[in-house]
Amino acid sequence: FTKPINSNELIDQLDLITASQIQEPFRVLIVDDSPTLLAYHAAILEQAEMHVKTVSEPMQLLEKLNDFNPDIILMDLYMPGCNGLELARIIRQIDGFLSTPIVYLSSENDFNTQPEAMSLSGDDFLVKPIDPAYLISAVTTRVTRSRFLRSLMIHDGLTGLLNHTAIKEELAREVIRSSRLKSSLSFAMVDIDFFKKINDSYGHAAGDRVIKSLARLLKQRLRETDIVGRYGGEEFAIIMNDTDATSAAKVIDEIRNVFSRLLHLSHDEEFSVNFSCGIADLAHFPDAASLSEAADAALYQAKQRGRNKVIV
């Protein structure tokens, strides 16, 4: 038995996590038929510590897109056998690239084509030759803004965790990845017990603080490779790579134990809270839908059998 910890003592790491994601090196994909220009533009951006990949052959584009997952695409307008406007339109139809900034690079001096380029899936138009400092700042401002917007879009405002949509997308992705690698994967659903009573007895603000403290605890105790999201009001979802349900249950049961011993504070009144959890793994439920259904059913069992429990 260890002494109870005050929930306020948990360090707030969530802002740091989000900030570090925004600060990762920018990934820039340049599409141009001229190897000389590709090398020149790449060198400029690499000097500014960006990660650059280049494509001189449009056929390689799709493959590079998925492997590299660029933050921004710099697209030559005229290439033999294809044009940048058409490529941009194709990119816009690929899952996950609807909002990736596309900036056209061209020696085109006819300003009439610029509005056309904009209306066809582009975000901006830079005329070659481009001043190196201008190229760097054009890329930096766009990537900073789009990363920030994307971060807002996929994170939950209260806890900073991934939101419902984002965690479902992660689950779909991780199920495919783990099936391909034949590695194990667990999915856990966590739901705070009698949360309505907490709100009723101590107020909504105290309830919010409880939700935040569980979010922080999960982030602190789980591995860097585990993916945590806020599934709904007082519900959390956790994806654990390379982990079968038995091992996952061990880890989460420890967290359950720590959480149930936290002391929460509301107007000088101390109270404690616990959660229930249901877990399923990919070995028994081989697709995302049945995996999350099974975790949900196990959670229901945990509630039925008295709460404050982890059930596989």
Kindly list the catalytic residues: 234
Rounded to whole angstroms, the Cα distance separating 146 from 30 reads 18
303 binds, among Mg ion, ligand GH3, none (CB under 5 to 8 A by kind): ligand GH3
**Which distant-in-sequence residues (6+ apart) come within 8 Å of 46 by Cβ?**
52
- In the complex, minimum distance from the CB of residue 149 to Mg ion, in angstroms, rounded to a whole number: 30
191 lies in the site for ligand GH3, by CB under 6 A: yes
Q: Spell out where 7-123 has E strands.
A: 27-31, 51-55, 72-76, 78-79, 82-83, 102-106
> Could you tell me if 272 and 223 are in contact, meaning their C-beta atoms sit under 8 angstroms apart?
no
- In the complex, minimum distance from the CB of residue 226 to ligand GH3, in angstroms, rounded to a whole number: 22
- Neighbour-count burial of 204, counting CB atoms closer than 10 A to its CB (0-12 exposed, 13-18 middle, 19+ buried): exposed
SS3 (DSSP) at 162: strand
CB-nearer residue toward Mg ion: 148 or 194: 194
- In the complex, minimum distance from the CB of residue 181 to ligand GH3, in angstroms, rounded to a whole number: 35
223 lies in the site for ligand GH3, by CB under 6 A: no
296 lies in the site for Mg ion, by CB under 5 A: no
Using the rule CB under 5 A, give the single segment among 68-76, 138-146, 152-160, 174-182 that binds Mg ion. Answer: 68-76
78 binds, among ligand GH3, Mg ion, none (CB under 5 to 8 A by kind): Mg ion
Near Mg ion in 189-208, by CB under 5 A: 191-192, 195
Pick from 4, 152, 194, 272: which binds ligand GH3 (CB under 6 A)?
Answer: 194
Token pair 């584009």 is found at 61
Rounded to whole angstroms, the Cα distance separating 154 from 161 reads 8
**Contact track, ligand GH3, 43-82, x by CB under 6 A:** ----------------------------------------
207 binds, among ligand GH3, Mg ion, none (CB under 5 to 8 A by kind): ligand GH3
Q: Which residues pair with 281 in a beta bridge?
A: 186
Give the distance, in angstroms, between the CA of residue 35 and the centroid of all CA atoms in the same chain: 34
Alpha helix positions (H), the chain:
14-23, 35-47, 61-68, 84-92, 113-119, 132-154, 164-181, 195-202, 204-221, 245-261, 288-304
DSSP element (H, E) containing 266: strand 264-266
Pick from 195, 261, 271, 290: which binds ligand GH3 (CB under 6 A)?
Answer: 195
DSSP per residue over 267-281, as a string? TTEEE---EEEEEEE
Pick from 156, 170, 193, 226: which binds ligand GH3 (CB under 6 A)?
Answer: 193
**Residues within the interface to Mg ion (CB under 5 A):** 33, 76, 78-79, 191-192, 195, 235
**Residues within the interface to ligand GH3 (CB under 6 A):** 158, 191-196, 199, 204, 207-208, 211, 233-234, 303, 307
